[in-house]
């Protein structure tokens, strides 16, 4: 694979190399997300291959720039795994999975300047918010129970509507972001994946709206001849078929 990339990379223009390099992290995140929804082995094998291409090709580009190559990447990974798993490669003992995870997080924190370090900026916003909250929670910066989270959501909801009444666009966006962040916290306490929950809501919307579209087409009338109330009746029909 490395030999193939070395040969093929010479045929790629500088513009495409630059474009690939700057978008590589977003591509890796996209490929990883797509794997989560794949069930068949053949499709998963293809996606894993696409995912493998990203770091290998990216390392090839940095090798041409004289920075590092794929061997350096793998070597760094091996050293990190050895350092963070002394119960496997050293003499430290860890009898449970919880102890292993606790030691892992402890060593990661020792290597970093901030508790929140290591959460990529390019992640989908809901996923990034959840990871930031989990990191903060591991050092005790968290609500004690669901009641506190609920009160925070209601507080942010109230502040959002107050901002909406004042009409300042920047303030509205600010408070809306805080509200979303609080809702992600609520999802975390309920053991709900907010990204997955929103994706499922997207799929429900698609199915229900498809029913509305079908009813409009069956009528033979254009969209503009329907009132919102009539369209909403189609929507309620769809909810009965796709709850």
pLDDT digits (tens, 9 = 90+) for 197-229: 999 999 999 999 999 999 999 999 999 999 999
pTM, to two decimals:
0.63
pLDDT digit string (tens) for 72-86?
999 988 888 887 777
Using one digit for the tens of pLDDT, what is the confidence trace for 149-185?
999 999 999 999 999 999 999 999 999 999 999 999 9
Two structure tokens written together for 28: 């890796």
Rounded to a whole number of angstroms, the CA Rg of the chain reads: 24
């Amino acid at each position: 694979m490395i030999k193939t990339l070395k040969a093929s990379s010479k045929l790629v223009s500088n513009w495409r190399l630059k474009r690939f390099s700057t978008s590589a992290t977003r591509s890796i995140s996209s490929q990883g997300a797509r794997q989560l929804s794949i069930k068949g082995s053949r499709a998963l094998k293809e996606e894993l291959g696409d995912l493998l291409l990203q770091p290998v090709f990216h390392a090839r580009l940095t090798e041409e720039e004289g920075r590092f190559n794929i061997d350096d990447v793998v070597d760094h990974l091996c050293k990190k795994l050895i350092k963070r798993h002394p119960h496997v490669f050293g003499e430290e003992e860890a009898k449970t999975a919880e102890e292993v995870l606790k030691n892992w997080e402890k060593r990661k924190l020792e290597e970093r300047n901030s508790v929140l370090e290591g959460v990529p900026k390019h992640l989908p916003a809901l996923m990034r918010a959840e990871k930031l909250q989990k990191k903060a929670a591991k050092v005790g910066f968290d609500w004690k129970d669901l009641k506190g989270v609920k009160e925070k959501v209601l507080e942010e909801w109230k502040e959002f509507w107050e901002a909406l009444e004042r009409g300042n666009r920047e303030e509205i966006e600010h408070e809306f972001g805080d509200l979303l962040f609080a809702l992600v916290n609520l999802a975390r306490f309920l053991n709900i994946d907010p990204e997955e929950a929103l994706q499922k809501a997207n799929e429900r919307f698609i199915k229900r709206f498809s029913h509305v579209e079908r009813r409009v087409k069956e009528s033979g009338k254009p969209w503009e001849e329907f009132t919102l109330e009539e369209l909403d009746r189609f929507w309620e029909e769809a909810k009965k078929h796709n709850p």
